[in-house]
A and B are shown apart, each in its own frame.
Chain A
Amino acid sequence: MTDTQNLTLVQAVRDGLHTELREDDDVVVMGQDVGKNGGVFRATEGLFDEFGGDRVIDTPLAESGIIGTAVGMAAMGMRPVPEIQFSGFMYPGFDQVVSHMARFRTRSRGRFTLPMTLRAPYGGGIRAPEHHSESKEAFYAHEAGLKVVIPSTPYEAKGLLAASIRDPDPVVFLEPKLIYRAFREEVPDEPYTVPIGEAATRREGDDVAVFTYGAMTRPTLEAAETLGEEGIECEVVDLRTVSPLDREAIVEAFEKTGRAVVVHEAPKTGGLGGEITAILQEEALLHQEAPIGRVAGFDVPYPLYALEDYYLPSAARIEEGILEAVEF
């Protein structure tokens, strides 16, 4: 029987960083306010005091500098874990992500690899100012050479983060900040990993497969429970990794039901919903009984908070989307 703690998702991230810093001297955490301040969401609380300023590093305010120097460290075999304070502030460093972080292995024919994990809180629903609420995971999923991981539970956040830090390739680790403190779960003290690239079934059902991830797992499960009371049984699949997608799990859930809906808070156009739909067309067309639905953010800039509850897929919108697929 291993010791556990009852942790929120953000505490589990912190615990994961703590464990990996302890296990491997090559791991460093770096970014704005991650040191003395303990992170603006407390994701690095106490780490500076325990591991010191050479391993938990407060940097100047410069995203390209943070990511670019992490690339250099990783090329030398370290395992840096740079944090961008909000994913909406990634873009000054985006050049480093797509031009270098994603390509060093390919460019050097494997001589240089980048075992780095780029963390950023993402997603909406916290009544935040502009640029603090976007979901742009598709940008990173579109970039070959990166893995893109999105946890939705405390236990898996720690295990997926450990897997990302230990992975030989660069990982973009997006944390759904809406559920940073939404609920607690028992999280083992000891190190463990949850595999990258594997989806998880959150609810079994025979009528329709619903694919989602991140903070949208909760309203999706809520919608599934409501529909369950009406006799419509949803299979809810949490992707957990959006690149590479777990094609096998996606196809399997679809073949079981013949109907599918994808739920994400990212804008509909160019989002993961399109990619999942295409996979099902490619691999399971003959099982399809209805158009594949997408319940997503709208194709507009993410609004300030007076209207954000209308922007984000609510349980009501998700129910509607599922009903359309089921009643077709």
Chain B
Amino acid sequence: MTVFDRAYDDTVRVLDEDGEVVGDVPDLGDDSLVEMYRHMRLARHFDGRAVSLQRQGRMGTYPPLSGQEGAQIGSAYALDDDDWMVPSYREHGAALVHGLPLKQTLLYWMGHEDGNNAPPDVNVFPVAVPIASQVPHATGAAWASKLRGEDDAFICYFGDGATSEGDFHEGVNFAGVFDTPTVFFCNNNQWAISVPRERQTRSATLAQKAEAYGIDGVQVDGMDPLAVYSVTKAALEKARDPDSDRPRPTLIEAVQYRFGAHTTADDPTVYRDDDEVERWKRKDPIDRLESYLRDEGVLDDERVAEIESSVEARVADAIDEAESMARPDLRELFEHAYAELPPELERQYEALAALRDDRGDAAFLED
């Protein structure tokens, strides 16, 4: 029996809402568990600061992740360094665990293209904003790895709304046909802006969509970081194994909730009840893991306080670093459109630069 031999609505759980053990605790070791907890706290604190920066006009539109730390951190912890992450636009926490510096994420949402320029040893794809458009990329990237005889696995993140898009179905279908080492990780946070999960599909679960493509599908409690870790780990191991007697790709539906707005441009009070939000907040993934770790004697007040202050310092440093970056040079507008700038683009750049020299920045800037 594997974790994949179960009904689609038989949700995998390790910790219940109070942090009591109800399943098999993964063998991670105390230090890793504390680090996982630290990353979840880091992601939550970062998120709050990012929303506040946006409110203060120090950052553009930002998509919050609060409530989704269990799914993001739990799944990213299951990756090997060599595995690849193909995110949508909300995976700030997952990308952080996989090595993307916080400064990069901040820069991106502060309107700098450089934010997407991950360090070369960090296997994270650039942000993909159009819904589900990254799903075929994850299949193709994993396919490339398979064709070259490499043994990396690929995890692709997307939301419940994405499962309505053609790209989702095409990407997952290809993965099934070509048996690619891809884990499709659906962050079902119940809401695609204002449209609830039950208005996206008549299917009882999203996990069951795997059935149509002949791959494994499994539902996990996305606010239970240990369950998410276990399921993702199993899916990645299966993906890496060319001799697996099961299909290499897996669709994981991580059931969770977006506590905040879709983005800072959204007002969720227009379309959903406070009661519902409060109900889901009782499942908070951070409280759950903390409660478990306290019961295990791994965390105490002192340790939690230390984590809290280290997290605050790290986010503050990243914000300082990002905000100290100068506005990108004008040349950056043109620089990466092609390997070699065509002559007409060179002319367009020169005309712009000459006019800026002549008239000054004030003639261009709106603020």
Q: Which chain A residues have a beta carbon within 8 Å of chain B's beta carbons?
A: 32-33, 35-38, 40, 58-65, 88-89, 91-92, 125, 127-132, 268-269, 298-301, 303-311, 314-317, 320
Contacts and interface: CB of A to CB of B under 8 A. Distances in A.
Given A92-B133, A129-B60, A310-B364, 18 more contacts: A37-B194, A37-B271, A58-B194, A58-B195, A60-B161, A60-B164, A61-B192, A63-B165, A91-B130, A129-B89, A300-B333, A300-B345, A303-B333, A310-B352, A315-B363, A316-B355, A316-B363, A317-B352
Max chain B C-beta neighbours (<10 A), residue from A88, A128, A130, A269:
A130
Contacts of B60: 127-129, 305
B294 interface: no
Interface in B262-287: 265-266, 270-271
B313 interface: no
B193 A307 contact: no
A307 B330 contact: yes
25 contacts: A32-B192, A37-B270, A58-B199, A60-B164, A61-B162, A61-B200, A62-B164, A62-B165, A64-B166, A92-B166, A92-B167, A129-B61, A129-B109, A268-B348, A299-B344, A299-B345, A299-B348, A304-B111, A304-B113, A305-B60, A306-B327, A307-B333, A310-B356, A316-B359, A316-B363
A33 B193 contact: yes
A298 B355 contact: no
B357 interface: no
B144 interface: no
Max chain A C-beta neighbours (<10 A), residue from B89, B127, B363, B364:
B364
B298 interface: no
Contacts of A128: 60-61
Top 6 A-B residue pairs of the complex, sorted by shortest distance between their CB atoms: A37-B194, A305-B111, A316-B363, A61-B161, A60-B164, A306-B111
Interface in B174-202: 192-195, 199-201
A304 B117 CA distance: 13
B366 interface: yes
Interface residues of B, number: 52
A77 to B, nearest CB: 27
B271 A60 contact: no
B365 interface: yes
B112 interface: yes
Nearest to B89: A129
Nearest to A306: B111
Interface in B302-335: 327-328, 330, 332-334
A130 B366 contact: no
B108 interface: yes
A88 B130 contact: yes
Interface string B108-143: 111111010000000000010111010000000000
B337 interface: yes
Contacts of A314: 363-364
A171 B10 CA distance: 48
A305 B344 CA distance: 23
A314 B359 CA distance: 11
Contacts of A92: 130, 133, 165-167
A281 B85 CA distance: 53
Nearest to A303: B333
A37 B193 contact: yes
B328 A131 contact: no
A37 B265 CA distance: 12
Given A304-B108, A307-B327, A298 B130 contact: no
A29 B127 CA distance: 31
A316 B270 CA distance: 41
Contact of B113 (A32, A303, A309): A303
